[in-house]
């Protein structure tokens, strides 16, 4: 980065913020009032971002900004000006505008990071983008060829890609938001934990993890590509009773292994259960998982994670959960596989949460009555009244 401003205190302040967030950043500072004005042919070469302040002696900072932005190939420019300069600065071509007297660390680093991402340049610390999308290689991760974007959440994006070395199709899950920004620290930790938790497990009904990549600002997980769709789609198409029972057995077996190593899934739902081409189940997406043995929580007390349709009563009310909460979620899924309907429905999320805690467990149709006792044990309102381990599901079956 290059900082251009006539006030030494301002240059020092910005350098402090930048180096606190990016300790390895290479920063050059330039005082136009002492060293003279930069020539018209100045191209900004060698920088990812130019931080231009409005203190430029007898020259108009906005005019300098306009000159920079007209130069072909000039790096991103963030302009620090006075209140009221924003519209003119952005019209002149600035990638972002910040009021120079109102610099706040978090807001500054978020804005600089957004500019780096939007310009798709490689920062000295290793930003999200490495490469050129026009070449056919996706600009997120080296060594993989982009095929298509499969989806996104508030914290990550999912891509179908192939390894350049082998041509094998894989799924890349990439964290989009920055770990050092307020409210994102927990998300980043959970994302990294997802890999560490799944990597410990080798089970035929849990997604295979191939690779993890981590830099100062992003992480990615390369995992098995499963091409037969998810259980949600299969339920919509209709599932036979034998298939529903077979899927239940496989999911329960995967959960038992997950619980054995001290992991909670906490977001078990049909969309997180994939089907391979051989019709076997693969449990995915441990983004909300946590080790039960961790003493320090990654979320605030009382914060609700998960999907209301599949939440246990205790999870829906923000209370402590253990492995029996996952068993409850699996009971909801089993009911839906058998009947095509969710056991508890309402017009609002809070209405669904209330029914999980208060409404009676639905009765299955007579032809499924043999499973009623098992369903009752999985969907019991109190954890102590439920099956106490996923292994017991096989015993009941």
Active site amino acids: 267
Residue whose tokens read 């990597």: 199
Helix, strand or coil, per DSSP, at residue 82: coil
Tell me how far apart the alpha carbons of residues 100 and 83 are, in angstroms, rounded to a whole number: 8
Identify the H or E element spanning 161.
strand 156-163
Task: Report CA Rg, the chain.
Answer: 27
- Residue 52 is inside which H or E element, if any? strand 49-53
First-to-last alpha carbon distance for the chain, in angstroms, is: 63
Would residue 9 be called left, alpha or beta, if left means φ above 0 and alpha means ψ between -120 and 50 degrees?
alpha
> How many other CB atoms are there within 10 angstroms of residue 76's CB atom?
21
Helix (H) or strand (E) holding 152: strand 144-152
Q: How many CA atoms lie within 13 A of 353 on its CB side?
A: 14
* 298-315 exposure pattern, b = at least 16 Cβ within 10 A, e = fewer: eeeeeeebbbbbbbbbbb
């Amino acid at each position: 980065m290059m900082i251009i401003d006539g006030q030494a205190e301002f240059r020092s302040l910005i350098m402090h913020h930048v180096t606190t967030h990016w300790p390895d950043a290479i920063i050059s500072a330039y005082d136009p009032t002492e060293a003279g004005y930069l020539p018209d042919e100045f191209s900004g070469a060698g920088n990812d971002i130019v931080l231009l302040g409005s203190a430029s002696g007898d020259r108009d900072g906005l005019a300098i900004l306009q000159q920079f932005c007209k130069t072909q190939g000039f790096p991103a420019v963030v302009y620090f000006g006075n209140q009221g300069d924003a519209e003119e600065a952005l019209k002149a071509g600035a990638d972002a505008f910040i009021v120079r007297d109102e610099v706040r660390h978090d807001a500054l680093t978020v804005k600089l990071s957004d500019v780096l991402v939007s310009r798709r340049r490689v920062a000295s610390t290793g930003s999200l983008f490495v490469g050129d999308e026009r070449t056919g290689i996706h600009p997120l991760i080296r060594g993989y060829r982009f095929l298509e974007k499969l989806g996104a959440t508030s914290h990550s994006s999912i891509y179908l890609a192939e390894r350049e070395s082998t041509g094998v199709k894989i799924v890349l899950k990439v964290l989009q938001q920055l770990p050092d920004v307020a409210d994102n620290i927990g998300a980043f930790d959970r994302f990294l934990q997802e890999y560490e938790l799944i990597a410990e497990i080798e089970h035929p009904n849990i997604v295979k993890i191939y690779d993890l990549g981590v830099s100062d600002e992003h992480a990615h997980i390369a995992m098995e590509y499963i091409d037969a769709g998810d259980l949600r789609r299969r339920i919509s198409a209709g599932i036979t009773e034998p298939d529903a029972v077979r899927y239940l057995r496989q999911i329960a077996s995967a959960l038992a292994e997950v619980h054995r190593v001290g992991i909670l899934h906490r977001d078990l739902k049909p969309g997180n259960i994939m089907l391979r081409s051989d019709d076997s189940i693969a449990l995915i997406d441990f983004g909300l998982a946590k080790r039960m043995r961790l003493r320090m929580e990654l979320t605030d007390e009382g914060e609700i994670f998960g999907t209301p349709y599949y939440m246990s009563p205790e999870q829906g009310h923000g209370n402590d959960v253990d492995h029996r909460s996952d068993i409850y979620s699996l009971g909801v899924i089993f009911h839906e596989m058998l009947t095509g309907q969710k056991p508890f429905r309402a017009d609002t999320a809070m209405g669904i949460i209330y029914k999980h805690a208060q409404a009676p467990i639905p009765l299955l149709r007579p032809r499924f009555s043999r499973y009623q006792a098992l369903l009752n044990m999985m969907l019991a309102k109190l954890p102590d009244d439920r099956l106490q381990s996923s292994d017991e599901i096989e015993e009941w079956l």
